[in-house]
Structure 1
Amino acid sequence: MTMNSGITDAELADLIATMDQAADAYIRGDIRQYLSLFDHADDYTLMAPYGGETMPAFDRTDEQLEETSRFFASGEATFDVDQSYVSGDLAVLVGVERQHGVVGGLPDQDWSLRLTLVFRRAGSRWQIVHRHADPLVRQIPFEHCAALARGLDSGPPRE
C-alpha cells in the first residue's frame, strides 16, 4: 500500500541536515542550541541508550538542562541516515549518530549510537515524538547480548 506524504524531498533533506546539527550540539553540551532546532512533543518518549524504562517526557527544567550540559562536555557528531520513511506529517529516520566526546566525566571516546527517530511536523516546526538509541553500532557476541538481557552486566542479577 502506498501512502501519500505531505513531506517533500527537500523538507526531508532539511530535517536530516537539522538532525545532523542537533546531534553535534548535544554531544558538545550545547543543549539550548539543540532545543532551538526541534520541539519535543507533549507525547514525546525516549528509549535511552543505557537501557531502562521508556521515559514519557522531556524534562526542560533549568536544573535538568544544566545537568545535561555538564554531562555532555565536548565532542563532535554527524548523523548518518540509513533509511527514512514519511507518511502525512510524520517522518521516521533510522541511522547512526557517529560521534565522540567527553561524556559523563570519562575521557574523549567513541559515543556512536544507533537511532530510530520519529518526527511530526507541526506548522513550520518539527517535533521529536520518539527517540530510541542504543550503543550497539558494532556487533557483539550473542552470549554478551544474552547476559545483558538477563541483567548480568548491570549490577546484581535480577530475581
Structure 2
Amino acid sequence: MSAAHEPLRCDHPADYTLMPPYGGETQRGFAPTDEEIEETSRFFESGEARLDVVESYVSGNLAVLVAVERQHGVVGGSEDQDWSLRVTLVFRRAGDRWELVHRHADALVHEIPWDLFRQIAAGDVRG
C-alpha cells in the first residue's frame, strides 16, 4: 500500500469527545483497532475534501476552529455526492503539539425547511 493510500492516523487523548454528524449520543474516547481503520478506509472509497476555516480562536492552551469540510465522494457504496459538514474542532496543547480533544460535526451545510428540522429535533424522521 502506498503512502497516499495508507489510513490516516490521528492521536486522540483519553478524554476525547465526538458529536458525530449523523446524530446520536456524544461518544467518548477513540482507540480504533487496525481492523476498524481498514473497514473505515473501505467504507470511504474515494473523494476530495478541503477545509474552509470560518473562524479560529486561541486562548492559552486551547484552540478552536469553526469550519466547513467541503467534500464529496463515494461513501458506503453510494454514488459520488456532496458529503460536506459543518465542524467545530477543539484542540489542546500537550507539550509541543496539539491534540484534537473535541469534534462536533453536522450535515446542515445546506439550509433545510423548518418542518423537517422540527421533525428531526423530535426524532420523527424514519430512515
Fold-level match, TM-score > 0.5?
A: yes
Q: Deviations over 1:119-139 (max 9, x none)?
A: 112122221100000000011
What is the distance in 1 between the residues matched to 2:100 and 2:61? 12
Partner SS, residue 43 of structure 1 = coil
Question: Stretches of 4+ moved more than 2 A in 1?
Answer: 28-32
Segment drifting more, 110-119 vs 58-67: 58-67
What is the distance in 2 between the residues matched to 1:46 and 1:111? 18
TM-score between the two structures when normalised by the length of structure 2: 0.90
- Gap change, CA 1:30 and 1:116, over 3 Å in 2: farther
- How far did residue 82 of structure 1 move? 0.6
How do 1:21-32 residues align onto structure 2 when only pairs under 5 Å count? 30-32=6-8
The structure where helix makes up a greater share of residues is 1
**Sequence identity (%):** 65
Tell whether 2:4 aligns with 1:45: no
Q: Give the aligned CA root-mean-square deviation in angstroms.
A: 1.6
What does residue 134 of structure 1 align with? 106
What is the distance in 2 between the residues matched to 1:143 and 1:96? 24
Partner SS, residue 27 of structure 2 = coil
Partner SS, residue 73 of structure 1 = strand
TM-score between the two structures when normalised by the length of structure 1: 0.73
Aligned residues between the structures = 124
Q: Deviations over 1:106-127 (max 9, x none)?
A: 1110000000000112122221
Give the aligned residue type for 1:153.
V
Gaps of 5+ in 1: 1-27
Segment drifting more, 51-60 vs 132-141: 51-60
What does residue 112 of structure 1 align with? 84
Tell whether 2:73 aligns with 1:101: yes
- Gap change, CA 1:81 and 1:30, over 3 Å in 2: farther
The structure where strand makes up a greater share of residues is 2
